Amino acid sequence: MHFKIRPAKKEDCKEISRLIMELAVYEKMPDQVKIAHEELERDGFCENPFFQCLVAEVPEEHKSKEGFTVVGYALYFYTYSTWKGRSIFLEDLYVMPEFRGNGIGKGLLCKVAEVGKKKECVRLQLSVLDWNTPSRDFYAAKGAQDLTVSEGWHAIRFDGQSLDNLANEAAKI
């Protein structure tokens, strides 16, 4: 199947928002999505964007059953390792189910890696849910290492009240 991968444009944010919700449903967490396309437009297409995104697009003759031509996306941003230097973090990689198995996911992943290499990043990092065996197998087949197993790293998060509490403590320091 013919497809192209291109940098997302501001006008793609409604489609990206739709795909984000599809991914959240797949990950069994649709209630966790709290942003809409307006936040994507604001945060990804400003003077200092918080993220960048690639979209996978098929020709009109191969559009989805629902009529969509944007069928996948990869959303990423840059991070920094004090041990290794420049890094790129892949927040989301998603391809609509009816388009899987056509190389679109691989294409998106490879393009993100290419972007990272052009920016002199030394690694590409991402997180995968423990039950998501198809994705874990996909990444492993491409050479990814599971750091939970090999190095014992755990993903840690502060949000909501715990983030507020930390930020409020700063005023007392």
The per-residue pLDDT for range 9-57, each reduced to its tens digit, is: 999 999 999 999 999 999 999 999 999 999 999 999 999 999 999 999 9
Q: Kindly report the pTM of this predicted structure.
A: 0.93
State yes or no: pLDDT of 155 exceeds 90.
no
Q: Which domains does the chain possess?
A: 4-148 (3.40.630.30)
Give the separation between CA 2 and CA 106, rounded to whole angstroms. Answer: 14
What 3-state DSSP class applies to 156? Answer: coil
Q: What is the mean pLDDT of residues 164-169?
A: 93
Question: Cβ(39)–Cβ(51) under 8 Å?
Answer: no
**Position 96 confidence tier, pLDDT thresholds 50, 70, 90:** very high
Active site annotation includes 139: yes
Q: Say which of 73, 76, 94, 139 is annotated catalytic.
A: 139
Give the separation between CA 138 and CA 39, rounded to whole angstroms. Answer: 30
